[in-house]
Amino acid sequence: MVSAPVKLELDRSDDELAFLMANDSDSFNKWEAGQTLFTRAILASIAQAQKGEDMSPVSPLIVDALRAILKDETADRSLRAYALSLPSLGTLGESMAVIDPDALTAAVKHMKTDLATALKAEFEAVYLANHDSTPGTGVGPDAVAVGKRRLKNTVLDYMMALKDDVWRAKALDQALNGACMTDVAAGTMALASDDTDARVTALGNFYNKHAKGNDLILCKWFTMQAVANVDGALEKVEELLSHPDFSVKNPNKCRSLVSAFSANMKHFHAKDGKGYKWLADRILEIDKINPQNAARMCTSFSTFRRYDDERQKLIKAQLERLVATEGFSKDAFEIVSRSLRG
């Protein structure tokens, strides 16, 4: 007789988690403790925002744990980067009974800004120690070079939360002069949600120098803009539908722009419901050309019951509109119908 596996879950205190995050010799344990601690803090900030309260400063426990990781030069750089990284918005949403896109994105921004402010000196030291702008250096596929890039680009992502001209300049320099595509893409991505002239310059350079004529990199360029948290995000994505290098007949480009926008937590889920209608419009358009691609896009609506009542109503209206459309393809119809049935 084979016994069923037992999953042991320990309810550790914040102090215990912070200690493990800073000191555990097992990299997975260190990362897992950090993810749990980050998640607790972000969920607490979300609760405060939903009550109309100001979000509390990030706990010194978290600040000190990150400081220990930043200063630990003996550890593998890639593993340090993972330990520093916040949970994704999707992962955080799974921890919420009802997903609140506005409070969630605000809480993550709050944590990044607080940590970047508290650890500015440490972040800058790590960035400088792992960034070499000399052409041809730090571009190899070996673990050390990969680790350096991963660690410094994780730091860059944090520091861009400050909307600081010094770090904006660092990101732009990396976007324009990065020694390899990883660095160029990371610098450009860091500026994609920074609604300034630097964003325009970085994205323009990425297109003209790297993406134009290369469909694989072009798809990355579309996605950078689709997921960007900037004012008028939907309008900017809508404009890209008319870009000469975009085609609804190309499944990869559709996924990189249309499907990617559905992962833009704040703007796809805008309270006015325009993001939902926009996606439904695209699904109907693409369904006439590539039913399988349209069917995959319908899955972006499949978790609509995880959101608040008002957003559920808005999404449900679009789902009902899709299934009521004459000639809607069989596969897409089945996915939408299943979503409506719950």
Tokens of 163: 């909307």
Break the chain into its structural domains and give their ranges: 212-342
Q: Quick one: tokens of 133?
A: 């702008």
Scan for tokens 């861009």, then name that residue: 160
More confident residue, 306 or 11: 306
pLDDT in tens, 214-244: 999 999 999 999 999 999 999 999 999 999 9
pLDDT band for position 342 (50/70/90)? confident
Greatest Cα pair distance in the chain? 67
- 3-state helix/strand/coil string of the chain: CCCCCCCCCCCCCHHHHHHHHHHCCCHHHHHHHHHHHHHHHHHHHHHHHHCCCCCCCCCHHHHHHHHHHHHCCCCCHHHHHHHHCCCCHHHHHHCCCCECHHHHHHHHHHHHHHHHHHCHHHHHHHHHHHCCCCCCCCCCCCHHHHHHHHHHHHHHHHHHHHCCHHHHHHHHHHHHHCCCHHHHHHHHHHHHCCCCHHHHHHHHHHHHHHHCCCHHHHHHHHHHHHCCCCCCHHHHHHHHCCCCCCCCCCHHHHHHHHHHHCCCHHHHCCCCCHHHHHHHHHHHHHHCCCHHHHHHHHHHHCCHHHECHHHHHHHHHHHHHHHCCCCCCHHHHHHHHHHHHC
Percentage above 90 pLDDT, the chain:
92
For residues 308-316, average pLDDT = 98
pLDDT tens sequence across 114-163:
999 999 999 999 999 999 766 555 566 788 899 999 999 999 999 999 99
| Residue that the structure tokens 């679009």 belong to | 318
What's the pLDDT at 136?
52
Average pLDDT score, the chain: 94
Residues 243-296 pLDDT 10s: 999 999 999 999 999 999 999 999 999 999 999 999 999 999 999 999 999 999
| pLDDT score of 38 | 98
CA within 13 Å, CB half, 177: 11
For residue 99, what are the β-bridge partners? 307
Residue 69 has pLDDT above 90, yes or no: yes
Determine contact, residues 141/151, Cβ cutoff 8 Å: no
Hey, how many other C-beta atoms are within 10 angstroms of the C-beta on 64?
16
- The label of the residue with tokens 């323009």 reads 204
Which of 235, 160, 238, 162 has the alpha carbon at shortest distance from 199? Answer: 160
- pLDDT at residue 6 tops 50: no
Q: What is the pLDDT of residues 77-123, one digit of tens each?
A: 999 999 999 999 999 999 999 999 999 999 999 999 999 999 999 99
CATH fold for the domain made of 212-342: Zincin-like fold (1.25.50)
Burial class from Cβ neighbours inside 10 Å (0-12, 13-18, 19+) for residue 122 reads middle
Taking CA 278 as the corner, what is the angle to CA 285 and CA 321, rounded to the nearest 5 degrees?
A: 70
